[in-house]
Structures are given as C-alpha cells and as structure tokens.
C-alpha cells in the first residue's frame, strides 16, 4: 500500500485516492495547433523514475494533489496541492 501524506488530512492509504495521471501534462490553449493537442492528449513520457502525477483525495478532502513519486520503487518524494493559490495559502497563511 502506498501512503500519501495529504496536506489537509495527513498520511492516508492510497486506496482513499484515485490516480489522475501524468501531472506534468499542460493542456494548451483551446485554439492551439493540432500537434500541440496531440502531444498533450495522446503522447506520454512514461518515465521510469521520479515523475509528477496528480492524485484526487476522493474519499477524503476531495482535493487534487500533485505527487512526485518514483514509478519503479513507489517512493514518494513530495506532495503538494494542485491548485497553486491553495498551495501558496498553505505555505503562507498570513
């Protein structure tokens, strides 16, 4: 069982979460070229090693998280909130 340290809920089993996929994929603008959309929707780096991926704490706080995880060892290197504004608020509540 992978344990994910949710910034809101603390460390939980991964069975509380759903896997969102490659978190490094950035969708292009709506009017971007077909090639850009092809890359974003269909092409994957498929890293063996540390990758950034999104997880949804669907049976917890329901927040989307960005997790740096090793796809070979399953070791987790960092967890942060996917929404940059919320992440900033967590880091600096003032």
Q: Which residues are near other proteins by CB under 8 A?
A: 1-2, 14-15, 18-19, 21-22, 34, 38-39, 41-46, 48, 51, 53, 71-74
Interatomic CA distance for residues 47 and 22, integer angstroms? 10
Give the residue with the Cβ less far from other proteins, 73 or 94: 73
CB 92 → other proteins: shortest distance, Å? 31
Q: Which of 76, 16, 21 is nearest to 53 (CA)?
A: 21
Sign of the C-alpha dihedral computed for residues 42, 43, 47 and 53 taken in this order: negative
**Min. distance of Cβ 4 from other proteins in angstroms?**
11
Residue 72 per-residue DSSP state: T
Query: Which of 1/30 has CB closer to other proteins?
Result: 1
């Amino acid at each position: 069982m992978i344990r994910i340290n949710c910034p809101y809920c603390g460390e939980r089993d991964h069975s509380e979460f759903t896997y969102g996929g490659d978190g490094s994929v950035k969708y292009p603008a709506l009017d971007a070229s077909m090639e850009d959309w092809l890359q974003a929707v269909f092409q994957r780096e498929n890293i063996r090693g540390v990758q950034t991926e999104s997880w949804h704490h669907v049976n917890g706080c329901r927040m989307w998280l960005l997790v740096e995880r090793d796809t070979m060892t399953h070791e987790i290197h960092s967890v942060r909130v996917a929404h940059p504004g919320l992440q900033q608020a967590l880091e600096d509540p003032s």
